[in-house]
Amino acid sequence: MKASVSAINQPSTAIYGEDAPLFLDMVQRFLQQEVAPCFDAWEADHQVPRTLWNTFGHAGLLGVDLPEAYGGSGADFQISQLICEEISRQGFGGIGSGYNIHANIVMPYILHIGTEEQKQNWLPKMASGDVLGAIAMTEPGAGSDLAALRTRAEKVDGGWKINGSKIFITNGLLAELVIVCAKTDPEAGAKGVSLFLVDSRLPGFSRGKGIHKIGQHSSDTAELFFDDLIVPDDALLGDLNKGFAYLMQELPRERLGVASQALGAMEGALQLTLDYIQERKAFGQRIADFQNSRFKLAEVKAQIELGRAYFNQCMQRYTEGQMSPADAAILKLQLSEMQCKTIDECLQLFGGYGYTTEYPISRFYVDARIQTIYAGTSEIMKEVIARTMLGK
């Protein structure tokens, strides 16, 4: 690509704690050495190599907030958000989504809900990158509506038999471990959902072809199938029929991860645009000298600062155990929508060059679009917020 994201200015680390500068330096060096030289090829292939996750693990960047007993660094949870932000800030949105699923969603589920045996069995392997994680909720006919799930888990001798399918599963092509949401009480609606730790190497587990998307090409996305898949009794994650409650419990962190990706992408896109408009000329002057350019970027900067202020507030609430589902919904709604709008404004200032793949601003643009859809659509976020307000 003609422009480079490697020269993006350093982000502030104050909100992320005293260990943040060390981890930021680690992840920046890692991204420039291990990701940047190959990323265009991975985007073209619509796939990262499986070994990338082992490399992440060897660098100590997976499960950074896990206790050392499970292979982590014992850092504050904020560091995982910093890593998500930096990956997206440098323009590697597809990898950011895969990282968020593995290290910021699946691993905390096991840490918070799993038995000691499950933690000892899976978390060290996930921290090293030897096991890649995914979570399978969405189905062809059921996105955010968990009551409509058709995947079933039926009790059999010594375990459970799972039948069904899932779609749009991030890390679905490469994951060795998938948290599967399945109905264990079909008559109970959302209160009849349970979670299972499914080893993807078991008979009855299969994957469709990778799903090609308009953005985040290097984030592998797949459809998964379960055909009389037998998992042992100890594959049940948490209590029976408590899956919906666990999903609600863990959603705040998932949506914090999406918000950190949004902040990073907005910061990265803004810096690329600032660099471009100070070099590019039109009608005898720099694009930066036009009042419209300055006003547009002032608006983008103001939006980012407002978004970061609420993000910081939510991080503090999460640390104190006070972040509510409504907080998470407001954060996810506002920052994902803001990301799409601000990056659109940035791309406009590139003119025709912004519509070419030669300039990385175009990748920021297409990678942003999914943010208002996954982890709960903007419409679902509004519904969550409204129900809280109306007491429903």
> For 239-260, what is the mean pLDDT?
94
**Phi, psi for 210 (deg, rounded to 5):** -60, 140
Q: Based on the residue annotation, tell me whether 254 is a catalytic residue of this protein.
A: yes
Q: What is the mean pLDDT of the chain?
A: 94
Q: What is the pLDDT of residue 11?
A: 61
CA 239, CA 251: separation in Å to the nearest integer?
A: 18
Report how far apart the first and last C-alpha atoms of the chain are (Å, whole number): 50
Q: What is the pLDDT of residue 392?
A: 64
Tell me the pLDDT band of 37, cut-offs 50, 70 and 90: very high
SS (H, E, C) 297-341: HHHHHHHHHHHHHHHHHHHHHHHCCCCCHHHHHHHHHHHHHHHHH
pLDDT tens digit string along 54-97? 999 999 999 999 999 999 999 999 999 999 999 999 999 999 99
* C-alpha dihedral sign at 311, 369, 293, 358: positive
C-beta of residue 269 within 8 angstroms of C-beta of residue 346:
yes
Give 225's strand partners: 165, 206
Tell me the pLDDT band of 148, cut-offs 50, 70 and 90: confident
CA 104, CA 100: separation in Å to the nearest integer?
A: 5
C-beta of residue 146 within 8 angstroms of C-beta of residue 174:
no
CA 38, CA 327: separation in Å to the nearest integer?
A: 37
Tell me the pLDDT band of 190, cut-offs 50, 70 and 90: confident
Residue from 18, 254, 299, 345 carrying the catalytic annotation: 254
Report all structural domains of the chain as residue ranges with CATH numbers, in order of start. Answer: 14-131 (1.10.540.10), 135-241 (2.40.110.10), 244-390 (1.20.140.10)
Q: What is the pLDDT of residue 208?
A: 95
C-beta of residue 179 within 8 angstroms of C-beta of residue 143:
no
**Phi, psi for 149 (deg, rounded to 5):** -55, 140
Residue reference for tokens 């079933």: 152
Cβ count within 10 A of residue 370: 23
Q: Is the pLDDT of residue 175 over 90?
A: yes
CA 78, CA 82: separation in Å to the nearest integer?
A: 6
> For 6-34, what is the mean pLDDT?
80
**Phi, psi for 178 (deg, rounded to 5):** -130, 125
Q: Which two tokens stand for residue 84?
A: 């998500």
CA 177, CA 110: separation in Å to the nearest integer?
A: 11
CA 55, CA 59: separation in Å to the nearest integer?
A: 6
Predicted TM-score (pTM) of the model is 0.94
